[in-house]
A and B are shown apart, each in its own frame.
Chain A
Amino acid sequence: IAGITQAPTSQILAAGRRMTLRCTQDMRHNAMYWYRQDLGLGLRLIHYSNTAGTTGKGEVPDGYSVSRANTDDFPLTLASAVPSQTSVYFCASASGGVSGANVLTFGAGSRLTVL
């Protein structure tokens, strides 16, 4: 089934630990995104990648890093987790480009709790 796979589904980790959230898509989409979703707030963009080999900072990039070694994978790393990073994280992809709708397809989300 084509789509986006995120792992883990949920995780509890101690503050200060390093954590990588995995994201893989099989739709050959050029653009990929990481969002966090917190109660009462809209989705906030953390990092994005318009194509393999390139990444960019979104609205809330501090404390997070990403890489895009190939088209399919876009992992998000928290180098040293802090409680304010407790959130639901969504990976998304789109075919890319600036014309047309360029609709996002989202993964199922990763619920992260930092204690």
Chain B
Amino acid sequence: GQNIDQPTEMTATEGAIVQINCTYQTSGFNGLFWYQQHAGEAPTFLSYNVLDGLEEKGRFSSFLSRSKGYSYLLLKELQMKDSASYLCAVRDSNYQLIWGAGTKLIIKP
């Protein structure tokens, strides 16, 4: 079966750095996505990785290792507004998205 694993919840301090991990087992691989979802709102796109390595976009970076079936989202200089759920999704060989259950990130002052 296809599976995406992410921690259920993480807590971090404002101004700090946090890394949210995602491991996957899917039928094929055609890209990995990270979305942010604030409580009661729609998911919004953060990043896309299709090749191994690090993609940096401002305070957010996303890393991919296809051989290990592993990705992480790195958030730097945490702000209170970063409190949200972070969803990892993999596009499989049929170009369908398989979603993880999301990681709820709690930022404390």
Contacts and interface: CB of A to CB of B under 8 A. Distances in A.
Interface residues of B, number: 22
A107 B44 CA distance: 10
B42 A107 contact: yes
A106 B97 contact: no
A74 interface: no
B60 interface: no
Contact of B42 (A90, A98, A101, A103): A90
Contacts of B48: 101, 103
A108 B42 contact: yes
B44 A42 contact: no
Given A42-B99, A42-B102, A45-B97, A106 B42 contact: yes
B99 A104 contact: no
A42 B31 contact: no
A115 interface: no
Interface string A79-115: 0000000000010000000100101111111000000
A44 B43 contact: no
B96 interface: yes
Interface string B72-109: 00000000000000010100000111111110000000
Nearest to B45: A103
Select the residue from B45, B95, B97, B99 with max chain A CB neighbours within 10 A: B97
26 contacts: A40-B8, A41-B101, A42-B4, A42-B89, A42-B100, A42-B101, A42-B102, A43-B43, A43-B87, A43-B97, A43-B99, A90-B42, A90-B43, A98-B30, A98-B95, A101-B31, A103-B45, A104-B35, A104-B43, A104-B45, A104-B97, A106-B42, A106-B44, A107-B42, A109-B41, A109-B42
